[in-house]
Amino acid sequence: MFEQLGLIGCGLMGGSFALALKKAGLVKRVVGYSKSPSTTERARQMGVIDVEAPSALLAVSGADLVLLAVPVSATETTFKAIRHLVGPNTLIMDVGSTKREVIDAARRVLRDQVGVFVPAHPITGKELAGVENADPDLYAGRQVILTPIERTQPAQLDKAHAVWTALGCHVKQMSPEAHDAAYAAVSHLPHMIAFALMNAVTGQSQGEEFLSLAGPGFRDFTRIAASDPSIWRDILMSNREELLAQSRHFQRALHAFETAIAADNPDALESLIDRASTSRAHWRMSAIKPRS
């Protein structure tokens, strides 16, 4: 049980975390701050937070748990804003989709106190951002990746494990480097591809007509293309090297399809599809969410 959650960023991810903690009876008080005062006010009106803080620093004042739920690019500024009230027993976590840049920022700003920060990435989300879409069950049944560094304090890491587990998450621990490589492959690249496909279609003169004909396969394939532009600008930028490396892997794989097709080689094409289809048919998402 935490006395106070200091929530910095009261959007979809932060708001859902506050609601989940409250639902699980794990926190007495949530003090929230968002860059936009109207968001903070909305969060209080919705009962996502109990008290509006006029600054990130004041949200942290008195908090034994701090969640940074801000765009990855705002991490360093946020650490700077709160560093003076970070105590030795505070647990600070983030929810960023990339980890190396976030950790670099934490090292630079928190310095000797960096051990209280446990970098976290919950594998969940919605295309609809904003506190109005906050959902106490957003994290239930999902994976959460923790990427501690050598200086992370064991007590803080244990508390981080405990809180996510109590929210019904499956906690996994890995290095920041391994994390960033994996999510470049299975999340950041798919997003970039889905964005690019939308632009490729709408950039053609018959684009609108094409879109009007699209069916359920297109719907699911492009769902992630509706994601928030500034959030995803940050994610793609902050993991650029891994992302570009994964994009090269993908383009080689795509080229193999084009080569088989252009060479009029149906056997080669079928064997490429068969490999993909078999892997996908056997894949199951870890920590399957019990509700739909």
Site for a copy of itself in 174-193 (CB under 8 A): 178, 181-183, 185-187, 189-193
Total number of residues shown for the chain: 292
Could you write out the DSSP letters of every residue in 133-173? Answer: G--TTSSTT-EEEE---TTS-HHHHHHHHHHHHHTT-EEEE
Question: Does residue 1 belong to the site contacting a copy of itself (CB under 8 A)?
Answer: no
Is 157 a binder of a copy of itself (CB under 8 A)? no
Tokens of 245: 């490396």
The alpha carbon of 110 is separated from its chain's Cα centroid by a whole number of angstroms, namely: 22
Please tell me the count of residues contacting a copy of itself according to CB under 8 A: 93
Q: What angle do CA 175, 178, 182 make, to 5 degrees?
A: 140
Among 61, 77, 173, 222, binds a copy of itself (CB under 8 A): 222
User: Binding of a copy of itself at residue 199 (CB under 8 A)?
Assistant: yes
CB of 188 to a copy of itself, least distance (A): 10
State which of positions 75-134 bind a copy of itself (CB under 8 A).
Answer: 123-125, 127
CB nearer a copy of itself, residue 52 or residue 242: 242
Cβ 48 to a copy of itself shortest distance, Å: 22
| Using rule CB under 8 A, residue 203 touches a copy of itself | yes
- Is residue 205 within the footprint of a copy of itself (CB under 8 A)? no
Strand ordering across the sheet containing 65-68 = 51-52, 27-33, 2-8, 65-68, 91-94, 117-118
Q: Using CB under 8 A as the criterion, what x/- string covers residues 244-283 for binding a copy of itself? A: x-xx-xxxxxx-xxx--xx-x-x--xx-xxxxxx-xxx-x
CB 33 within 8 Å of CB 55: yes
Residue 152 dihedral angles phi and psi, to the nearest 5°? -60, 130
